[in-house]
Structure 1
Amino acid sequence: MPQQLWTSVDDYFNGLLVEEDDALRAVAAHSGSSHLPEHQVTPNQGKLLHLLARIQGARTILEIGTLGGYSTVWLARALPADGR
């Protein structure tokens, strides 16, 4: 499948299911302005990580290789108030 089709599918689901807030947009923008490789997760993938951590009832999360921190924000938001 061509990359453009994958991108269109991602854009569709992102628009339908995911609302990025100012913090997530700022992390993504900072990654871009810092010339980091464009390997961060997409918004819908971030939301999936968030959902999986919540379903699991995670109280501690360790992410290795955070790049710009976009997925870290999603995962951190899945933790309870006393999570780490």
Structure 2
Amino acid sequence: MSEPQLWHDVDDYFTGLLAPPDAALTEALRDSDAAGLPQINVAPNQGKLLHLLAVIQGATRILEIGTLGGYSTIWLARALPEDGRLITLEYSEQHAEVA
């Protein structure tokens, strides 16, 4: 097995274990692809890490710079308490519409 393949397999293992797909995240990626947005969103395990960092920090407010299709926004929003607030900034009108 090549080293790049090994890294892919390890990544797939941890992603499946710690960040299984769900409807909202899957839909965000599908909508981004359908709109032709660049495929530069965070990986599922990176989204889970963002979520975990926000939870550990006890975040009640989050500022996200660069929304793209909203994938990482979903991860971050899920880390907030019910009265939390997430502000996300996106320069591209098209990206903001998709998100």
Range 7-16 or range 60-69, more displaced: 7-16
- Cα deviation, residue 5, structure 1: 4.5
- In the other structure, the counterpart of 2:21 is 20
Higher strand share: 2
Given the two structures, how large is their TM-score scaled by the length of structure 2?
A: 0.76
- Cα deviation, residue 9, structure 1: 2.8
The residue matched to 1:36 in structure 2 has which SS? coil
- In the other structure, the counterpart of 1:83 is 84
What is the aligned-residue identity percentage? 67
Between the two proteins, the alignment pairs up a number of residues equal to: 83
- In the alignment, structure 1 residue 73 sits paired with structure 2 residue 74: yes
Q: Tell me the distance in 2 between the aligned counterparts of 1:40 and 1:5.
A: 22
| 8 Å CA contact retained: 1:13, 1:44 | yes
Of structures 1 and 2, the larger Rg is shown by: 2
Q: Tell me the distance in 1 between the aligned counterparts of 2:11 and 2:37.
A: 21
Q: Which blocks of at least 5 consecutive residues in structure 2 are unaligned?
A: 86-99
Q: Once superposed, what is the RMSD of the aligned Cα atoms?
A: 1.3
- Cα deviation, residue 21, structure 1: 1.0
Q: Identify which of structures 1 and 2 has the higher relative contact order when contacts are C-alpha pairs closer than 8 Å and 6+ apart.
A: 1
Runs of at least 4 residues of structure 1 off by over 4 A? none
Q: Tell me the distance in 2 between the aligned counterparts of 1:8 and 1:35.
A: 27
Given the two structures, how large is their TM-score scaled by the length of structure 1?
A: 0.89
Counterpart amino acid of residue 80 in structure 1: P
